[in-house]
A and B are shown apart, each in its own frame.
Chain A
Amino acid sequence: MLGQVFTKPQKGRFFYGSLMREIDQVGIKSLGIIAFISFFIGGVIALQTALNLENPLLPDTLIGFATKRSIILEFAPTFCSIILAGKVGSYITSSIGTMRVTEQIDALEVMGINSLNHLVLPKILAAIFFYPFLIALAMFLGILGGWVAGVLSGLFIGTEYIQGIQMNFKPFLLVYAIIKTIVFAFIITTVPSYHGYYVKGGSIAVGKASTSSVVWTIVLIVVTNYFLTQMLLT
């Protein structure tokens, strides 16, 4: 499948149009949910950390530090990808699967169009290009959410939280998060595309394929996350 996906598009201008549409579908339309979840989860992480730091010897800067690390290392790249696997994965499988069962893919093939390249490559490139920005936004909003939660609850002081964020800053951790995001973006687009493209049957089959594609995408993300962490951080 991938061999046919990664070929030169038949018409550059047409491909550019498809790419822009997919950036909108798989990227921009996911901004809202990612922003909303990141902000509140950031708040929850900060509150949980503050509530569990009972030892008075531990400085409050640790709350900002722990929140930052949790969000950059795991929440933003991994859990946002799992959320995207649900939202974008089901969209990809159902849209391609519906095209398969309604013979739209056959129509493309009859016209002499490489349907895998035409349908799947723009999705992969859109996700790989756009998700790092999406995850960067999730990091920013998550950390901001932690600060807002602290200020509103009075559990810690805002300036100490900001000091904690600045503590022991390692740029490689951002690189690690971006590498994970790019790998997950590839998984989020290819696994559902595969399930949609090779679906057989009718609407029920498309529904089943959507479910199994989301499950398999999440499983792959979790397993890949483990191996990438081991490879890049140990």
Chain B
Amino acid sequence: MIEVEGLHKGFNGVEVLKGITTSFHPGKTSLIIGQSGSGKTVFLKSLIGLHTPEKGTISFDGRKSTEFTDDERRQWRREIGMVFQGSALFDSQTVEENVMFPLKMFTNKPMEEMLDRVNSVLNRVNLENSNTKLPAELSGGMQKRVAIARAIVMNPKYLFCDEPNSGLDPKTAIVIDNLIKEITEEYKITTVINTHDMNSVMEIGEKIVFLEFGKKAWEGTKDDIFKTDNEAVVNFVYSSNLFKKIRVAQNKESN
């Protein structure tokens, strides 16, 4: 479980996160949504330790990340999996080498065992027979699946995804969303996803945190989001024509 308490972060005197308090639970996919510039990426990067918060605490199963010793921080890093927006695969390495990278760096397992683990996670993300390909030879969806495989190869307790389906066609985006949800439930991972894709919200949003101007404006489930009167959420959700039409239809039905 991840608990965030009063998180503040700014850059060059400009406050980006203004006291966010929330929590994320194991086995559930939690989504952070909000418009561009709302602070989603800074929030996620603060969670994974790429930004140091100015105020507030982030606790991972009761362990405050701000109070980690160097050893604790190293150990904690191995409990984290991260899927970056652009996949962030090492472009000079093959799919197999990319996925094997954390195992080689942090374990002393024999090569055969590492290879078995790599093949097992590649099968889990439905990527067989791509071991020797370079990232440049893969489609966007396949790159995302390799990134997911690399993120889960060390059996992480916490999985973070930054816009995992950006740049993907709607069908592939749903495949990626469902894959993350299945993995989250299967391995009881605490998953936090940064997105502004309403399809993702509808597919996998078990908990949704809505950010606006660096503050938590709303939180709830995917069912709650269509019932809320919160103006900021309504403006965000119904900014798409498709959702506007759905709302009009819903209103007609209820009348």
Do the two shown chains form a genuine complex with each other?
A: yes
A111 touches B (CB below 8 Å): yes
The contact of B104 among A11, A109, A110, by CB within 8 Å, is: A11
**Interchain nearest-CB distance for B121 vs A (Å):** 15
Interface string of A94-112 (1 = CB under 8 A from B): 0000110011101101111
Cβ contact within 8 Å between A107 and B82: yes
**Interchain nearest-CB distance for B133 vs A (Å):** 17
Give the complex CA separation of A166 and B90 in angstroms.
51
Contacts of A99 in B (CB 8 A): 90
Interface size class of A (residues with CB under 8 A): 10 to 19
Contacts of A10 in B (CB 8 A): 105
Question: Count the A-B residue pairs with Cβ separation under 8 angstroms: how many?
Answer: 47
Q: Given A109-B50, A110-B80, A112-B73, are A103 and B88 neighbors across the interface (CB < 8 Å)?
A: yes
The contact of A11 among B50, B74, B84, B105, by CB within 8 Å, is: B105
Interface size class of B (residues with CB under 8 A): 20 to 34
**Interchain nearest-CB distance for B224 vs A (Å):** 31
Give the complex CA separation of A113 and B73 in angstroms.
11
A14 touches B (CB below 8 Å): yes
Quick one: closest B residue to A101, CB to CB?
Answer: B86
Give the complex CA separation of A99 and B106 in angstroms.
21
Cβ contact within 8 Å between B88 and A111: no
The contact of A14 among B48, B49, B104, by CB within 8 Å, is: B104
Interface string of B30-63 (1 = CB under 8 A from A): 0000000000000001001110000000000000
Quick one: closest B residue to A17, CB to CB?
Answer: B104
Give the complex CA separation of A107 and B148 in angstroms.
12
- 24 residue pairs from A and B, CB less than 8 Å apart: A10-B105, A11-B105, A14-B105, A98-B91, A102-B88, A103-B85, A103-B86, A104-B88, A104-B89, A106-B45, A106-B84, A107-B88, A109-B49, A110-B48, A110-B77, A110-B82, A111-B77, A111-B80, A111-B101, A111-B105, A111-B106, A112-B73, A112-B77, A112-B106
Instruction: Give 9 closest A-B pairs by Cβ, nearest first.
Output: A112-B77, A103-B88, A107-B88, A103-B84, A110-B82, A104-B88, A112-B74, A110-B48, A11-B105
